[in-house]
Amino acid sequence: MQDTTGAQTHEDGNALAGPLSAVFAHDMTTAVGRCLSCAAERPLAEVSVWSHGPGLVARCPGCDAVLLRLVRTPRGSWLDMTGLSRVLLPV
């Protein structure tokens, strides 16, 4: 991974590892999420992630639906996972 400031290209779910480690005890990049929109299942490491806005936005690489948003504000961290119908945490 590398600093890529200035580019508007997406990264992938590996970039969620650190920010989500502040929320979950389990490594969420290996967790398998199901897209609420298209039902595709994949490890969160493989989703598309945009990190250039005020927070992180993860989208389904298959159907482009928003899966997860994580935004830090002065009030606290907002985590929206309504785009994921379920998540499997592998043993």
Partner 1 sequence: MTSTSARLGGRVGVRPGWQVATLVDAWAESPSARTLVLDVPGWPGHAPGQHVDLRLTAPDGYTAERSYSIASAASPGTASSVGPETVPDAGPTRVELTVQRVPGGEVSTYLADAFAVGDTIEVRGPVGGWFVWHPTGTTGPLDPAPVLLLAGGSGVVPLTAMIRARRAAGSRVPFRLLYSVRRPEDRLYTRELGVPHPGDDGVDVTVLYTRSAPLDARREPGRMTPADLAAWGWPAELGPACFVCGPTGFVEAAATMLLALGHEPARIKTERFGPAGD
Residues that bind partner 1 (CB under 8 A): 1-7, 9-15, 17-19, 21-22, 27, 29-30, 43, 45-46
Whole-angstrom Cα distance, residue 89 to residue 91? 7
Give me the least distance between CB of 13 and partner 1, in Å please: 8
The SS3 of residue 15 is: helix
Contact 43, 30 (CB under 8 A): yes
Taking the least distance from each CB to partner 1, the nearer of 55 and 65 is 55
Q: How far is the CB of 33 from partner 1 (least distance, A)?
A: 12
Output the smallest distance, CB 53 to partner 1, in A: 14
Q: Which is nearer to partner 1, 46 or 80 (CB)?
A: 46
Strand spans (E) along 1-91: 11-12, 32-35, 41-43, 48-50, 55-59, 66-73, 76-80, 84-88
Whose Cβ is closer to partner 1: residue 39's or residue 82's?
Answer: 39
Q: What is the C-alpha to C-alpha distance for residues 67 and 74, in angstroms, rounded to an integer?
A: 23
| Residue 44: CB minimum distance to partner 1, A | 8
